[in-house]
Amino acid sequence: MSFQSLGLSEALLKAVSKKGYTTPSPIQQKAIPPVLAGKDVLASAQTGTGKTAGFTLPLLHILSENPKEKFRPVRALILTPTRELAAQVYANVREYSEFLNLRSAVIFGGVNQKPQAAAIRQGIDILVATPGRLLDLQNQGLLSLKRVEIFVLDEADRMLDMGFLRDIERIIKSMPEKRQNLMFSATFSKDIKKLAHGILNHPVHVEATPENTTVEAISQKVYRVAKGLKTGLIIKLISDGNWKQVLVFGRTKHGANKLCEKMVKAGITAAAIHGNKSQGARTKALAGFKSGRVRVLVATDIAARGLDIPLLPHVINFELPNIPEDYVHRIGRTGRAGASGEALSLVSADETSFLRGIEKLIEMKLPVQIIEGFEPDPNASTAPIKQGQGRQNRNSRNSGNSNRNSKGNTNSRRPKRSNDRRN
C-alpha cells in the first residue's frame, strides 16, 4: 500500500515524500481512511508506530478542503500530556502542512505565554496543547474552542496516569458537541474505555502493533546487584562498553540529578530530564543527547513519555518501575524501525516483586547476570519499596510535569505541596 492509495491531497503527498516516507505504517493504513471519512476513531498504538502522522495527515486534509482564511478560529485541537510530546507533534504538523495554507501553534507551560497568546490572536487553524496551559489561556479569555471541528486526544492512558481527567472534561465542555473525535492510547484499561465512551460517537476501532514485538526486537537482560553498588555498575557498563548513547530511567527527580552528578565526575557526559527542570534545560538536554554531545540522558517516566529518539541502542533501568506497563514503555524507546536494541535492568533485592510483575506481563523470564564486584546483598530485604520511598506515586507525578505555570492554577482538586511546581 502507498500513501497515494489512501486518498490524501497532492500537497500532503508532496510533504510526505519530502520527509522520505513511501509506505504508510500499519496504524497509518488503518487510521487514515476512517478519519478522512469523518468518523470518530479509537486507536491503540504506541509511540514509534507512526501514530502522529496517522491523525495529522487526514486532519490536515480535511481542514484544507474547507479553508477559513479571513478569520481563523481554532478548528482542530490536539491535546497531549507532556511538553516534549506537544513540541514533537507540532513539529510534525508544521512539516506536513508545508504546502498547505494552514496555520498552527503549540502551547505548553514552563515558557512565557505572551508569544503563544500572540500566535492565537493572529488566527490559527490547528492548536497543539497541554491541558494546563490551555486552561490557563482559556480562563484569561485569550483562547476560544467554540469552533473546533476535530479533537485529538493523544496518549490518553498517560493523560489519566497524570491526573488530567477533570481537565479533559472541562476542555471538552468548552468545545461544540458536533465535532470529530480521535483518541489514541497505548493501552485500553477500564478507565480508558470509560473515557472513550464519554467522548467518542460510534468509533471505528483500529489497532496496530510494531512489526517486531518488544520481546523480539529488544535484547533484555537483568543484572542482580546490591542497591548501593548500582551507580558503580552503571558507570562500569557504559565505560567498558564505550556506549555513546544511553537512556537511563530512574524513579525520582532527585535520584536522576544525583546519578548525573556521579556520572559527570566519572568522566561521562550526562544530563537529566524531569519535571523540575526548566523547559529550556529540558530542551537543551534532549538536543545534546540527540546530537551526541551528551552520552547519557537520565529521565523519569513522565519526562521521557513521547520522546522520539531514532535508533537508540541502549536503555538502562537504573531502578525498575513498580508498574509493569511502564517497563514496556521504557524499553520501547529502543529497537525501533527494525533496528536492534538492548535493554538492561539493575535490580536490587527490594525490586524483586517489581521484576516478577514485569515478567508476568511480557510472558517471559528475563536472563539474569551477576558481575564480580557488584554482587547482590544476600542479607537485603526483598520487601518492596513503600509508597513515597524512592519513587513518585501516581498522583505525585502531576507535581513535576502537569504542564502548568505558576499563575492561573485552576485545578483545585490537587493538594498543594511544598515541592509542587506547575509547568
pLDDT tens-digit map of 387-403: 444 434 443 333 334 34
* Residue 101 CA to its chain's centroid (Å): 29
What is the DSSP code (8-state) at residue 371? -
Residue 88, CA distances (Å) to 5, 91, 346 in order = 26, 5, 30
Q: So what's the pLDDT on residue 83?
A: 85
Give tens-digit pLDDT for 101-122.
999 999 998 888 999 999 999 9
285-315 residue pLDDT tens = 888 888 889 999 998 876 666 566 766 889 9
pTM higher than the cut 0.85: no
Higher pLDDT, 324 or 264: 264
The Cα–Cα gap between 168 and 166 comes to 5
User: pLDDT category, 340, cuts 50, 70, 90?
Assistant: low
Domain at 214-392, CATH homologous superfamily: P-loop containing nucleotide triphosphate hydrolases (3.40.50.300)
Which cell goes with 175? 468545545
pLDDT band at 218 (very low <50, low <70, confident <90, very high): confident
Name the percent of the chain lying above pLDDT 90.
51
Mean pLDDT, the chain, whole residue set: 83
Rounded to an integer, what distance in angstroms lies between the CA atom of residue 139 and that of residue 339?
46
Give the separation between CA 325 and CA 327, rounded to whole angstroms.
5
What digits encode the pLDDT tens for the residues 85-102? 898 899 999 999 999 999
- CATH class label, 4-207: alpha beta
Q: How far is Cα of residue 333 from the mean position of the Cα atoms in its chain?
A: 10
Contacts within 8 Å (CB) and 24+ apart, 393-396: 394/161, 394/163, 395/163
Q: What is the pLDDT of residue 306?
A: 59
The model's pLDDT over 144-163, given as tens digits with 9 standing for 90+, comes to: 999 999 999 998 888 887 88
In whole angstroms, what is the distance from residue 414 CA to residue 419 CA? 13
Under 8 Å between Cβ of 268 and 296 = yes
Q: Whole-angstrom Cα distance, residue 356 to residue 332?
A: 19
Q: How far apart are CA 243 and CA 223, in angstroms?
A: 17
Task: Tell me how far apart the alpha carbons of residues 159 and 399 are, in angstroms, rounded to a whole number.
Answer: 14
Q: Where in the chain is the domain with CATH 3.40.50.300?
A: 4-207, 214-392
Confidence band (pLDDT; 50, 70, 90) for 217?
Answer: low
54: three-class secondary structure by DSSP: helix
What average pLDDT does this structure show over 179-195? Answer: 87
pLDDT at 328: 79
Q: Is 260 helix (H, G, I), strand (E, B) or coil?
A: helix
Quote the distance between the C-alpha of residue 153 and its chain's center: 12
Q: How far is CA 90 from the centre of its chain?
A: 13
